[in-house]
Amino acid sequence: MSKPKKTKGEYKLSKNALQRVNLGQAFAEYDKVLKGNRSIFVKTPAIEAALDSTKSKCFFVGRRGTGKTAMTFYLSDQLRSALLLQPQTFNAYGLPVDPEELRDATQRHFRSLVACFKRALLDEVLQEWIANDTVAFGDARSFSMEKNYLVEMDFDLRMLSFVDKVFTELHKPQERDWLRELKRGEALGGDMALMHNHKSREVVILIDRIDEAWDGSNTAVYFLMALMHACVELSSNYEFIRPLLFVRENIFERVKQIDNEYARLETCVVSLNWTEELLVELVERRLQANLNPKPAIGDTWDYFFENMDGVSSRSMVFQYCQQRPRDILTYCSLAIESALAATRSLVAIEDLQEARKRFSESRLKDLGDEYSENYPQLQLVLNCFHGLGTEFAVPGIESFIQKLLIGNEVRRLCEAWIFNYTTPQRFIQLLYSIGFWGIRRRDNTIQYRSVGTVAAPPPAIEQSTHVVVHPSYRHSLDLPERVVTDLDKDLDLQQEGLILDIPEAFQFNDYFEEVNRLLESLDSIPMGHDGQKEYETLVGRMIELCFFRSLTNVEAQERDIEGRVIRDWIASNRASDGFWELVRSRYQATQIVWECKNYEDLTPSVFHQMGYYLNNTIGHFGLVCFRGSDVETHYYGHLKRLADKDGKYVLLLTERDVKVFLRQARNGKVKESHIQEIYDRTVRKIS
């Protein structure tokens, strides 16, 4: 084992230093280490671009785990006037908009949607100015006209109200009222510009986590397109507002494919690329966060990680991981856990080797989840590589595709996209673009795709091309070190392993058929008393199909021991991590109560009812599913009273939320991000 060379007065690590290490959470939204701790942030080129208002950069694009949300924490702390916005409005359910009318970015329907986003974002700045006593509603006529929207609505409700009004007027024979609605935003921007010249300051709006409200539809893409155009136009026309949008690469790519005016956006894009040097600094800053005094940045790694003759711990980590913060932090955290379990004072080479299997399994699941909206059930295709080999020649890929399409499951569950990638060249490009494999160059080196949206073009694909599965996926797929040039005609692709995560009571095909049936039947259930029983049954099935990893023993119409209290559904909370574990520990919620209301509007009695259901025995957390499209502002008043008086927290799930859970299950998405976002939004509203 080799250690850093020592000089006189050199830093010496204490024996229990490894036990004090806290690398934090790989998901920034759950990471307490990031909150208010400037010293652990690494200043990347993307952060520099965000801080420099002269560069006119609006969009910060990267794959999942490249640090978008962490950037918003840093910028919120650094910038004097920054607002964090997490919009949920990326659909047009119940609104007078035909989604296909929004396809052309030059036509009046799309321009109307852009105007709605611009006005809604201007209102965010106006609200901030008024809260800080910078301006008053009476300072301009346009300000007073926005008062009701600011006092009674949040961004999402405001946006929906604007869309409803503008498109209702657009579809009328007379255009005068439509034009009047469009010009309200222009008048507001003009008055705010005059005020900015006198006494107000620039406000930076950090728009993040839009994928939490993303349903994968074309409508969602059109809404995001409109938001992006609104950001560019506001930044270029006004000095007092600077919207910065943080968006996942796979979502951004869909906009890029559809938007016929993308040229207006492309110069405003920043790619979240990371170098090995920046990632090492990221880990080192977290390693030394709890130490005092601290070793120097650049030396810290070698105090915590063992290096053996001919074996570099850094090389082991960076050759195994893709170059993004989440991968590096996850792998290092698993290795540190292994070292602590073996009572070692530093991370040994065998700890890095031990962590590989667990890390590989989590990365493969995460890959299927990340691209589930673009390629539903992608994980089913990835799982078919199980046991084949680490490297493929083009004939081997041709043989693999032929066998893949024989399987009924792949043909049926992946039919929305798989038939567009049945040639070896297209199939290679697809799996290269998502980072599953790299392409071997003529000089025998391997080129993997970078994690940023601005990536070097892949090498040319020829008949002699070989592709190599990325090391981070090999252990989970049990891939032997061999080149696959052909597959035996009698070989069946294996469906073993790790990512086909469904309830035990279901066969694979039956599970997805049931999810699709629920999605299709929800809209046909009549609201009110006549459809109440059918709606309750659907919600119960949704709980079983979408939350089976954490909630078990789901029972219907449960009475208490005295035969009085009836809860529509109650489920046992067996979670050991994630959102439901947080609920269990924070609210002592060993049982989760679900109440179903087959109505658009909720009455005060619903909240009294939920308060009565929750108690010290089952816990202080419950959910109400109802048929409305939005959570009205006054509902939060009822939720706040429950929380303040008895410490009881209730989440409200709209019809759209139920559809999101079902779509995620259909696409094979296993994360709890959507319900976590509903919880976060509720806590912010009632705090």
More confident of the two residues 677 and 379: 379
- Banded pLDDT at 55 (limits 50, 70, 90): confident
Q: What stretch of H or E contains 567? A: strand 566-573
Whole-number pLDDT of residue 386: 92
> Would you give the DSSP letter of residue 456?
P
Whole-number pLDDT of residue 129: 93
CB 467 within 8 A of CB 440: yes
CB 125 within 8 A of CB 240: yes
> Coil, strand or helix: which one is 469?
strand
User: What is the rounded radius of gyration, in angstroms, for the C-alpha atoms of the chain?
Assistant: 27
Highest mean pLDDT among 27-36, 422-431, 552-561: 422-431
- Banded pLDDT at 393 (limits 50, 70, 90): very high
User: What whole-number distance in Å separates Cα of residue 459 and Cα of residue 447?
Assistant: 8
CB 329 within 8 A of CB 23: yes
CA angle (28 as vertex; 24, 29 as ends), nearest 5 = 120
Q: Please tell me the pTM assigned to this model.
A: 0.76
Whole-number pLDDT of residue 59: 96
Give the residue from 334, 434, 329 showing the smallest Cα distance to 378: 434
Whole-number pLDDT of residue 499: 41
β-bridge mates for residue 156, sequence order = none
- Banded pLDDT at 385 (limits 50, 70, 90): very high
For 121-149, give the DSSP string: HHHHHHHHHHHTTSS-GGG-HHHHHTHHH
Domains of the chain, by residue range, sit at 45-271, 275-370, 385-448+459-484, 508-686
Tell whether the model's pLDDT for residue 593 goes beyond 80.
Answer: yes
User: What whole-number distance in Å separates Cα of residue 207 and Cα of residue 218?
Assistant: 20
CA angle (676 as vertex; 123, 498 as ends), nearest 5 = 135
The CB-side HSE value for 28 (13 A sphere, CA atoms) comes to: 21
User: What whole-number distance in Å separates Cα of residue 480 and Cα of residue 482?
Assistant: 6
User: Where would I find the beta strands (DSSP E) of 373-486?
Assistant: 391-393, 437-440, 446-447, 466-469, 483-484
- Banded pLDDT at 245 (limits 50, 70, 90): very high
> Coil, strand or helix: which one is 559?
strand
Residue tagged 């032997």 (tokens): 480
Query: Helices in 416-531 by DSSP H: which ranges?
Result: 424-433, 471-474, 508-522
Whole-number pLDDT of residue 369: 85
Whole-number pLDDT of residue 418: 94
More confident of the two residues 46 and 212: 46
- For residues 640-673, one letter each, b for 16 or more C-beta atoms within 10 angstroms of the residue's C-beta and e for the rest, the string is ebbbeeeebbbbbbbbbbbbbbbbbbbbbbbbbb
CA 609 centroid distance within chain? 33
Whole-number pLDDT of residue 84: 93
Query: CATH topology for 508-686?
Result: Restriction Endonuclease (3.40.91)
User: What whole-number distance in Å separates Cα of residue 507 and Cα of residue 505?
Assistant: 7
Between the alpha carbon of residue 598 and those of residues 140, 226, 613, the distances in Å are: 44, 33, 19
- Banded pLDDT at 53 (limits 50, 70, 90): confident
Tell whether the model's pLDDT for residue 104 goes beyond 70.
Answer: yes
Q: Token digits for 377?
A: 């059930």
> What letter represents residue 231's amino acid?
C
β-bridge mates for residue 357, sequence order = none
Question: Could you give phi then psi for residue 6, rounded to 5 degrees?
Answer: -100, 140
Highest mean pLDDT among 42-51, 83-92, 304-313, 488-497: 42-51
CB 619 within 8 A of CB 647: no
- Banded pLDDT at 511 (limits 50, 70, 90): confident
pLDDT in tens, 298-315: 999 999 999 888 789 999
CB 166 within 8 A of CB 182: yes
Whole-number pLDDT of residue 482: 93
CB 450 within 8 A of CB 414: no
